[in-house]
A and B are shown apart, each in its own frame.
Chain A
């Protein structure tokens, strides 16, 4: 987040925090006079847990808060809004807890008022039923707005590009119906153009997630799911499967490379020219559980995406048919 001061961003883009800096911070806190041991322990604990957060707080590796596309940005804005709103409740809780526990201890000589029968207050109750309702109300409005917004393509100006994604055990297959090419475990997308990912699985369900571009959507057998994403900046974005699918799951990562439209076209041509074709047998082989590296194919059996969905239950679902029709 942009809020944190530059002090903490300094040496912390690396994986591990600089030990000397940790030391300095520990000493600063420990030097303060502490009245009892538990408080000191508490402070150390607080510090220990804050270091890593501050350490990595502003790094671009915090992908959710450094989106590179409009979808991710909508989600980031909501995340920040929700943090701010919940803070309105959290902070008073912390302050009140600290104050009350200090003030009303059962120690000799405590002159704080003691009212054992004080247990009702209409005003107070209205406040703490009312404020959360208000906060939830505000959050609800924005949630509803963006939930609906995200089902539509992010930008209307450019024509969308469709990419069909199939999760297999344990690899990702990308098919480009426009370009008639297919890739495994990586994909290219043009920048500044909405990408319509149509997702399915020919294996236990997984979830397609490229955090820097935006949120995820499940890939499910027999279903055609839709996810709109868009990249504003060229770059290589890390993607991974987010739903556990068994032994090879941890290795189900892929790269999304965003380039200019011209470079994208050149890349597609290159694949069409140089890569081998994906045959039916080749697909069956690919669907067999196991891990593979990146692969490219100049063509693929044209109806394979559609057929797999239909066979695994899509024939019973109106929704699937609608998505697949809409795509054509």
Chain B
């Protein structure tokens, strides 16, 4: 990267976290924040679609027919906890503990996998009961909104696995620290989106 401000950053300052210690790191983290803004708008559009269409059931299954309280509560808890463990991983990174960092990341990945497992099971169950995406506008928007979130989570899991591999090979240094920090941002973002899905889709659905 072209380092317009290289000189500014070349003095090592111990107050600056490792991920912010290079200009490249600063730019990429800032860029990623902006990417998250675009992703947020993307989800906002999907939420508005869902909100408009969730009663258009065309005589097919309704929200109350489908949503199962213990199931989506479990999904929610798992994802919230995974966000917490991901935060712990970042803290360990700041302390320079590679082992603990990797351990917490592995816990996060496992929680993510169990979330995906539950979600896939939920989808398979719905489809088995005739609630397919082709059935009604409500179901089209449900599967698209929740499915898009699920795809994001799956991608995050693959991403974390790749970073775990890199941590194993290269340890904690400016580049890997930046990657851990960014994947953490991504993971927390998905958690926030899930909180909205929990409220707008599931709670609203069962409380009608």
Contacts and interface: CB of A to CB of B under 8 A. Distances in A.
Nearest to B55: A316
Interface in A219-241: none
A316 B55 CA distance: 8
A313 B55 CA distance: 11
A316 to B, nearest CB: 5
A316 B51 CA distance: 13
Contacts of B55: 316
Interface residues of B, number: 2
Interface in A284-328: 313, 316
Contacts of A313: 56
Interface in B31-77: 55-56
A58 to B, nearest CB: 48
B51 to A, nearest CB: 13
A102 B56 CA distance: 65
A184 B55 CA distance: 35
A316 B56 CA distance: 7
A313 B136 CA distance: 11
A45 to B, nearest CB: 45
A189 B56 CA distance: 37
B119 to A, nearest CB: 28
A75 to B, nearest CB: 31
A166 B55 CA distance: 26
A211 to B, nearest CB: 33
Interface string A137-173: 0000000000000000000000000000000000000
Nearest to A316: B56
Contacts of A316: 55-56
Contacts of B56: 313, 316
B78 to A, nearest CB: 35
Interface string B125-142: 000000000000000000
A311 to B, nearest CB: 10
A51 to B, nearest CB: 48
B139 to A, nearest CB: 15
3 contacts: A313-B56, A316-B55, A316-B56
Q: Top 3 closest A-B pairs, CB basis?
A: A316-B56, A316-B55, A313-B56
Interface of A: 313, 316
Interface of B: 55-56
